[in-house]
Structure 1
Amino acid sequence: MKDYLVKALAFNGEVRAYTVRSTNIVKEAQERHDTWSNASAALGRTLTAATMMGAMLKGEEKLTLKVEGNGPIGHILVDSNAKGEVRGYVQNPHVQTELNKHGKIDVAKAVGTVGTISVVKDIGMREPFTGSVPIVSGELGEDFTYYFAVSEQTPSSVGVGVLVNPDHSILASGGFIIQILPGASEECITQIENRLKTIKPVSKLIEEGLTPEEILYEVLGKEEVKVLETMDVKFQCQCSRERIEGALLSIGKQELELILEEDGEAEVTCHFCNQPYHYSDEQLKELINKL
């Protein structure tokens, strides 16, 4: 099944909702970065959240979501945009801890419980919008929920989940964001809260084969949901040989000559997608001659 995202309204416009199947996105990230279980779950949850947050943007707008905790995986950095494209990496991909008391991957232990969640949105203004909140649990779903409440003043419920196989491959991944809009009735809020208490984890629903639309029906009730749009989503990096060359040129002639003299070649790897770019001695000389 392909990955895709659904935007919807519910309860006659009192609620805005997003849901996504992100299994293939997280699979590609896991394969590119060779992440182990804890890192896969943490990076996958962040990629899933950022994909839905990107769907809240328009046109050429884009955002960066950064998780900086005090856990062993280090920081997580993810970029997304309004076109359904997302990319990201985790600083230390080879992290695996014991399961938590519920027998599940301990994301909080990997991320840490002290640190910050920050979002930078490039929405075409002179200065980007920046919001930052402290980590409240390290499980990430709760942390993204807290971000929306504090930084964007939007009461929300964020559910993100990743199921990882024993061999570190990805079994299922997905998420939802439910946002209460101004003027929503107490009855509407209570109904959603009660449903959220009883539904299965979103990754389990994805594993069972539910579509993003069907997940919204589980959370909000089928009769209440009005689907506005569906869009394909994918792991997509914007790196290219031209961009890497620009980065190499920016370090200056003297530094490039030193690389040529000491190593005779250069290899630059993109942090976001782990794609290597190799430059032979002849190619380095060509770059030096441009300066």
Structure 2
Amino acid sequence: MDRITAGFDQLTRFWLETAPARGVVARLDESMVSMLQHHDYPVAVSLLLRQLVGAAALLASNLKQPAQVVLQAQGDGAVPLLCVEATDRLTFRAYANVREDANIAADADLSSLVAPDGNGRFVLTIAPEEGQMYQGIVALHAGSVSSLLADYLTNSQQTQTRLWLRQDGDALEAMLLERLPDSRDEASDSAWEAVVAQAETAFALPFMPFPYSEWLPFVFTGHDVRVHAAQALSFSCSCTVERVLNALRLVGREELQPLIAEQGRVESRCEFCGKRYEVSATQLADLFDHVDASHPPGSGTVH
């Protein structure tokens, strides 16, 4: 069985005909190798980025319009920022800011890395290409990525939600299970608790990369599981030279002039994918001359 048939770097949605639950499952492998290949993160940081990517991909599968899901863990610890972005097209990228002098244990958890003083925050942003952005912010408490997100989703959506994440080498499996909102009686309570227990049992077993059509009925034995067609997941970075130039424009000519005088160019590196950009003195002159021509004195530009 090849890795595509086994469901790697794919995501699929499913629902249970015989229980009040629906969900989405994803397996990521080579796509995350591509994501991390330009970075030399500590082991714990790489593990947490993988987990956040798995969670973000599950959430992005629910987007109903062109948009992206952004998950950020922020604090003042050894890793003051972890950031993951996933789009409605099921592409993703990730970045971590790691302090140079940090000594990070391989088994460090999210809160101890990002906010050991307890003052961190976890931010979930949904940014559509058109329309209003949504952002939710909660305290970054101790515990796993899956428990943090499950609590957040349950509280924000008022719908019981569970999330599971497990890793095996470079591979990660993620599953989100959501209780159907109209199932609120004693029999539904019992059925929901039973399927949650089945998922808990499955994720306690060794990693089993079977096709979703085989794996999901194995997980939810005794239930009629309906499976949507799988969708591909992939690493993709949206950095471009135009975005680099826009960023340099914000920095300003005066701030960049000493660097140009010394090196004759400005070098920039994308924090997400590691791609390097080199902007020449001529390009920068053209950039700022264009800005000055577009905003002559008296036009409202601050000089």
TM-score normalised by length of structure 1: 0.84
Gaps of 5+ in 1: 100-104, 165-169
Match of 2:63 among 53, 57, 60: 57
Gaps of 5+ in 2: 292-303
Partner of 1:30: 36
Indicate yes or no: 2:189 matched with 1:186: yes
Query: Counterpart of 1:131 in 2: which secondary structure?
Result: strand
The whole-number CA distance in structure 1 between the counterparts of 2:85 and 2:218 is 29
Partner of 1:250: 250
* 1:70, distance to aligned residue in structure 2 (A): 5.4
Paired residues of 2:69 and 2:124 also in contact (CA < 8 A): yes
The whole-number CA distance in structure 2 between the counterparts of 1:271 and 1:62 is 18
Partner of 1:174: 173
Count of aligned positions: 277
Paired residues of 2:121 and 2:140 also in contact (CA < 8 A): yes
Paired residues of 2:18 and 2:223 also in contact (CA < 8 A): no
1:21–1:55 Cα change, 3 Å:
same
The whole-number CA distance in structure 2 between the counterparts of 1:20 and 1:239 is 25
* 1:12, distance to aligned residue in structure 2 (A): 4.6
* 1:252, distance to aligned residue in structure 2 (A): 3.1
Query: Counterpart of 2:162 in 1: which secondary structure?
Result: strand
Output one character per residue of 1:11-44: Cα deviation in whole Å (capped at 9) or x when no partner: 3572120110111232122212222210111111
Identical-pair percentage: 21
Matched AA of 1:139 = S
Q: Which moved more, 1:270-279 or 1:140-149?
A: 270-279
The whole-number CA distance in structure 2 between the counterparts of 1:281 and 1:140 is 45
Partner of 1:195: 198
The whole-number CA distance in structure 2 between the counterparts of 1:273 and 1:138 is 28
Partner of 1:102: none
Partner of 1:281: 281
Matched AA of 1:177 = L
* 1:67, distance to aligned residue in structure 2 (A): 1.4
Q: What is the correspondence of 1:79-228 to structure 2 with a 5 Å cutoff?
A: 79-92=85-98, 97-98=104-105, 105-108=107-110, 109-112=112-115, 114=118, 115-123=120-128, 126-164=131-169, 170=170, 172-184=171-183, 185-201=188-204, 204-205=206-207, 208-221=208-221, 223-228=223-228
1:181–1:55 Cα change, 3 Å:
same
* 1:191, distance to aligned residue in structure 2 (A): 1.2
The whole-number CA distance in structure 2 between the counterparts of 1:229 and 1:264 is 53
Query: Counterpart of 1:272 in 2: which secondary structure?
Result: coil
CA RMSD between the two structures: 2.6
**Could you say which structure has the larger radius of gyration?**
2
Output one character per residue of 1:98-117: Cα deviation in whole Å (capped at 9) or x when no partner: 46xxxxx3434434563222
Matched AA of 1:77 = C
Match of 1:76 among 77, 82, 99: 82
* 1:232, distance to aligned residue in structure 2 (A): 0.5
The whole-number CA distance in structure 1 between the counterparts of 2:168 and 2:77 is 20
Matched AA of 2:196 = E
Matched AA of 1:176 = M
Output one character per residue of 1:122-169: Cα deviation in whole Å (capped at 9) or x when no partner: 2466431111222333421111111111122221111123334xxxxx
Q: What is the correspondence of 1:267-278 to structure 2 with a 5 Å cutoff?
A: 267-278=267-278
Matched AA of 1:107 = D
1:228–1:247 Cα change, 3 Å:
same
Partner of 1:167: none
Matched AA of 1:252 = G
Query: Counterpart of 1:226 in 2: which secondary structure?
Result: strand
1:71–1:65 Cα change, 3 Å:
same
Q: Which moved more, 1:191-200 or 1:49-58?
A: 191-200
Matched AA of 1:247 = A
Paired residues of 1:120 and 1:130 also in contact (CA < 8 A): yes
TM-score normalised by length of structure 2: 0.81
The whole-number CA distance in structure 1 between the counterparts of 2:108 and 2:257 is 47
* 1:193, distance to aligned residue in structure 2 (A): 2.8
1:280–1:125 Cα change, 3 Å:
closer
Partner of 2:298: none
1:66–1:41 Cα change, 3 Å:
same
Query: Counterpart of 1:50 in 2: which secondary structure?
Result: helix
The whole-number CA distance in structure 1 between the counterparts of 2:226 and 2:11 is 14
